Amino acid sequence: MGRYASNRQFHEYNTRRGSDIRLNYLRLLKSMDGVNYYAIKFFNVLPSNVRQLPFAHFKSSVKNYLISKAFYTIDEFLVNDFIDM
């Protein structure tokens, strides 16, 4: 994951979201409009089987899914269930 840290690196408890990338605390709402913030949010909502794919397969899988669904808003993507991915 490079410079990103997962939730399990910050505590020893087994949690449902242990493999998620930890979102940094952002004091200003303007900071939440950045690419790094949304990249982490988008990655965290993907199913774990997609997250574990090698990069080339991950990229093509996500691209094909996004083309097939055509989300119109960020919120629409974040509440999607990803059953058919």
Give the closest residue to 66 by CA, choosing from 52, 46, 44.
46
Give the closest residue to 82 by CA, choosing from 38, 55, 44.
44
Other residues' Cβ atoms within 10 Å of the Cβ of residue 62? 16
pLDDT, tens only, 4-47: 878 777 777 787 777 788 777 777 777 777 778 888 889 999 99
Residue 2 — very low, low, confident or very high, per pLDDT cuts 50/70/90? low
Higher pLDDT pick, 54 / 5: 54
Residue pointed to by tokens 């930890």: 22
